[in-house]
């Protein structure tokens, strides 16, 4: 099962290496990872998606907590959250199919952010499933490159972080 | 505020932490530090290899409970410390490793003697720092000692670029309690879990205490004894827990695990309640985890929450300092006895005693027994790694904590001699014995020079079988006796080697020579001596439960 961990860490030199190294040496795969500073510039938030059963997650969480630079860990798997990912998708867009592609993009509220002679770059934001669905629909046109940010989440309302 | 160089600040910080002795080896990137050490009131012990310095700091920490400090220069100096740091990490030993680094402007440019020791040590430290500004040093050093010595102890490495130690900056000492928002070890056990633990204890009829190195770190040997005696519970210790409960006590069943006593393993196998105190269910203790203590409920007391459930899920987890938890638990349990259970344990002791065949040859087990008798069981014993280590664990019964110093987790050959040296620095008035094998001794024998230079009366008891004995034993038992690269008959004359370093030594060839040789060794007080015991070459360590095995696979000879 996939879990989404939101990890608050000291915004310091080496902290990403500490966290990534911990996953690697304990044998857990990071599926996605997004890191950036929070509203407090001394703290960064890492949103980590990792697969594992409950025992794995308990051990990962405990090991992460042992890192001196880790301040707090929340498992947002079964919590009411706003979940988003952003993707840029470069596809082949021959003149004859541009209209179709733009219609699909509209349905997904994706926007065309670059137009080349034979290509589009689409920007889409949403839940991971939505991006997966759009990517699938665009596949027949010829996807050249995709870059995704990895999932980020924030709790809904004013529940304590 | 005054201006001082980073190195001078560092020395002042070390003094404020109460550091009396550091173990190290100089080099280019630590020249500023060594210049500051030149007239500082800190004793510097010049090791002959940085690995030796790290093990000395480790041995000092094990013997005293204080934080050990070692120093290496950048690049190879730092990488030579790595084995020692990893060793301390696996056994939760508080050391601070200071490494030189190329100047900040040279970092990442493959400068001369540059190694990314911050990155290299990440997986083997409790925490590490790269100090990029001299003004950070007071905080960094204060935190380093705090982190190393609190919670579950462990090594902290501090990388010191040469310009950071060389340049003068404003110095404002950092003292008092350390506040790190992301580091707050839990020291008090949860009252609810303690109450549940007390209920399990009250309901049990065949309880056993399984005591590990955490009890030594917590200094809770008295509480362990009180609990055992109040409830009439037998006690087994891991190799790291030796001395946390007196092994001569009638309730002691000695060490458990792969080479533990048969009666300890039988007792654990049949207990209905296993009370783990600062122990981590290591594979060398449990063998096949599914068949370890199969009938038991488990109470697991540990200061490190990550150890709870890592190998085996307990019924009652109690996170906290073992001393605090045991004191709380003692207040909640009624005195009782388990006469039938203790009777059964006594029967196992009689039926399966620790033993070896006395056949006129010089047996290593006999040598250990004699070392114990001659030292009155009160020596500080440092061991290396291998067969001799297991025999020492089995036959040198320890009644005090911080008496048996051994590389339990990492199993580092070469640890014994430098560990003994560090221990002797920490406990100068006491008898320190290094029990080593001929393989491990040759890995760090150069540190003998340190013992001679500082006139340390370390007794080096070499159990010399001219084999890498433990590997030979496994090859004999599990690899069809194909003895691959374990014959060490091409070896130096160890007595002459000792003499070359300015020490004294003797060869001991027969059982009758053992006692006089040891008594002679005890008279030597102005430097180390080496006894080269030429023990039976093909003696094996028993009992033995094969790797990842169960008690029904236990081999007794």
Q: Is the pLDDT of residue A158 over 90?
A: no
Q: So what's the ipTM on this one?
A: 0.91
Q: What is the DSSP letter of B467?
A: B
Q: Tens digit of pLDDT for each residue in B247-259?
A: 999 999 999 999 9
Spacing of C-alpha B499 from chain mean position: 29
**B312 vs chain A: nearest CA distance in angstroms?**
11
B557 band by pLDDT with thresholds 50, 70 and 90: confident
Q: Tens digit of pLDDT for each residue in B154-177?
A: 999 999 999 999 999 999 999 999
- In order, the DSSP letters of B482-536 are ---S-B--S---HHHHHHHTT-EEEEE-SHHHHHHHHHHHHH--SS-EEEEEE--
Check residue A78 and give its pLDDT. 85
B498 band by pLDDT with thresholds 50, 70 and 90: very high
Interface membership of B119 toward A (CB under 8 Å): yes
What residue ranges in B205-335 does DSSP mark as E strands?
A: 207-211, 235-237, 252-255, 273-277, 297-302, 316-319
The residue of chain A nearest to residue B131, with distances taken between CA atoms, is A13
**Contact yes or no for A70 and B182 at CB 8 A:** yes
Return the H-helix or E-strand segment holding B142: helix B137-149
Neighbours of B438 (CB within 10 A): 26
Q: Is the pLDDT of residue B75 over 80?
A: yes
Residue range B504-528: average pLDDT?
A: 98
Check residue B283 and give its pLDDT. 95
Nearest one of B117, B171, B142 to B7, comparing CA atoms? B171
Joined together, the tokens standing for residue B444 give 């760090």
**Contact yes or no for A58 and B309 at CB 8 A:** yes
Q: What is the DSSP letter of B113?
A: T
Interface test with B, best of A54, A62, A69, A70 (most B CBs within 10 A): A62
Q: What is the DSSP letter of A40?
A: S
Contacts 24+ apart (CB under 8 A), A35-43: A37/A11, A38/A8, A41/A11, A42/A10, A42/A11, A43/A8, A43/A9, A43/A10, A43/A11, A43/A71
**CATH architecture label of A2-75:** 2-Layer Sandwich (3.30)
Q: Is the pLDDT of residue A161 over 70?
A: no
Residue range A44-53: average pLDDT?
A: 95
Beta-carbon contacts of A25 under 8 Å, excluding residues fewer than 6 positions away, are B123
Q: Is the pLDDT of residue B2 over 90?
A: no
pTM: 0.96
Q: Where are the alpha helices (DSSP H) in chain A?
A: 15-25, 54-66, 98-107, 128-138
Q: Tens digit of pLDDT for each residue in A61-85?
A: 999 999 999 999 999 988 899 999 9
Q: Which residue has the tokens 């549940």?
A: B196
Mean pLDDT of chain A: 94
Residues spanned by CATH 3.30.70.260 within chain A? 2-75
The structural domains of chain B, ordered by start, are 2-171 (3.40.50.970), 191-351 (3.40.50.1220), 364-534 (3.40.50.970)
**Contact yes or no for A68 and B182 at CB 8 A:** yes
Q: Where are the alpha helices (DSSP H) in B293-360?
A: 322-330, 339-351
Neighbours of B357 (CB within 10 A): 11
Residues spanned by CATH 3.30.70.1150 within chain A? 81-154
Chain B residues whose CB is inside 8 A of the A72 CB are 182
So what CATH class is A81-154? alpha beta
Chain A residues whose CB is inside 8 A of the B304 CB are 66
What residue ranges in B58-117 does DSSP mark as E strands?
A: 68-72, 95-101
Residue range B486-509: average pLDDT?
A: 98
Joined together, the tokens standing for residue B556 give 């007794």
Say whether the peptide bond before residue B79 is cis (omega within 30 degrees of 0). Answer: no
CA gap B42, B21 in Å, rounded? 6
């Amino acid at each position: 099962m996939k879990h989404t961990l939101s990890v608050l860490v000291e915004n310091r030199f080496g902290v990403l290496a500490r966290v990534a190294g911990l996953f690697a040496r304990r044998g857990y795969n990071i599926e996605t990872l997004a890191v950036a500073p929070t509203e407090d510039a001394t703290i960064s938030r890492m949103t980590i998606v990792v697969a594992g059963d409950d025992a794995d997650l308990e051990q990962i969480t405990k090991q992460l907590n042992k890192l001196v630079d880790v301040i707090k860990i929340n498992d947002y798997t079964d919590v009411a959250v706003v979940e988003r990912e952003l993707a840029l998708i470069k596809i082949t867009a021959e003149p004859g199919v541009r209209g179709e592609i733009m219609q699909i993009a509209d349905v997904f509220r994706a926007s065309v952010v670059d137009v080349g002679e034979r290509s589009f770059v689409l920007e889409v934001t949403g839940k991971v499933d939505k991006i997966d669905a759009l990517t699938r629909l665009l596949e027949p046109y010829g996807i050249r490159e995709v870059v995704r940010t990895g999932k980020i989440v924030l709790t809904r309302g004013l529940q304590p972080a | 505020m005054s201006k001082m160089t980073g190195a001078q600040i560092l020395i002042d910080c070390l003094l404020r932490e109460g550091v009396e002795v550091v173990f190290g080896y100089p080099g280019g990137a630590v020249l500023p530090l060594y210049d500051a050490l030149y007239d500082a009131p800190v004793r510097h012990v010049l090791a002959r290899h940085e690995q030796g310095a790290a093990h000395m700091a480790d041995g000092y920490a094990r013997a005293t409970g204080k934080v050990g400090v070692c120093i290496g220069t950048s690049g190879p100096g730092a990488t030579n410390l790595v084995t020692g740091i990893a060793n301390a990490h696996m056994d939760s030993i508080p050391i601070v490793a200071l490494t030189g680094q190329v100047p900040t402007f040279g970092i990442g440019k493959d400068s001369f003697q540059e190694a990314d020791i911050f990155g290299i040590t990440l997986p083997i430290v409790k925490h590490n720092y790269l100090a990029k500004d001299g003004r950070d040093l007071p905080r960094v050093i204060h935190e380093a000692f705090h982190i190393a010595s609190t919670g579950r102890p462990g090594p902290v490495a501090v990388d010191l670029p040469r310009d950071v130690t060389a340049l003068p900056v404003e110095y404002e000492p950092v003292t008092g309690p350390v506040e790190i928002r992301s580091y707050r070890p839990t020291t008090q056990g949860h009252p609810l879990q303690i109450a549940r633990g007390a209920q399990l204890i009250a309901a049990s009829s065949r309880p056993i205490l399984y005591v590990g190195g955490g009890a030594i770190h917590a200094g809770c040997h008295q509480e362990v004894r009180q609990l055992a005696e109040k409830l009439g519970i037998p006690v087994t210790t891991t190799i790291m827990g030796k001395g946390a409960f007196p092994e001569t006590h009638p309730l002691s069943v000695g060490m458990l695990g792969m080479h533990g006593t048969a009666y300890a393993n039988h007792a654990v196998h049949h207990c209905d309640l296993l009370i783990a105190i600062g122990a981590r269910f290591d594979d060398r203790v449990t063998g096949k985890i599914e068949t370890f203590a199969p009938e038991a409920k488990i109470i697991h007391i540990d200061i490190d929450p990550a150890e709870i459930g890592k190998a085996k899920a307990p019924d009652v987890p109690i996170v906290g300092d073992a001393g605090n938890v045991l004191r709380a638990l003692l207040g909640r349990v009624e005195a009782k006895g388990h006469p039938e259970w203790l009777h059964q344990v006594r029967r196992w002791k009689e039926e399966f005693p620790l033993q070896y065949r006395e056949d006129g040859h010089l047996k290593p087990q006999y040598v250990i027994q004699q070392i114990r008798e001659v030292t009155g069981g009160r020596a500080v014993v440092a061991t290396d790694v291998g067969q001799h280590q297991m025999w020492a664990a089995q036959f040198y019964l320890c009644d005090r904590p911080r008496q048996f110093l051994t590389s339990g987790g990492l199993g580092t050959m070469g640890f014994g001699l430098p560990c003994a040296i560090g221990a002797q620095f920490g406990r100068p008035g006491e008898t320190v014995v290094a029990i080593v094998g001929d393989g491990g001794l040759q890995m760090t024998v150069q540190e003998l020079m340190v013992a001679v230079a500082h006139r340390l009366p370390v007794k080096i008891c070499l159990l010399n079988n001219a084999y890498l004995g433990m590997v030979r034993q496994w090859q004999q038992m599990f690899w069809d006796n194909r003895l691959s690269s374990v014959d060490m008959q091409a070896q130096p004359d160890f007595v002459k080697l000792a003499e070359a370093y300015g020490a004294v030594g003797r060869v001991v060839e027969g059982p009758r020579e053992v006692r006089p040789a040891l008594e002679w060794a005890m008279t030597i007080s102005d430097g180390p001596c080496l006894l080269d015991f030429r023990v039976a070459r093909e003696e094996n360590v028993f009992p033995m439960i094969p790797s990842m095995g169960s008690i029904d696979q236990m081999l007794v000879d």
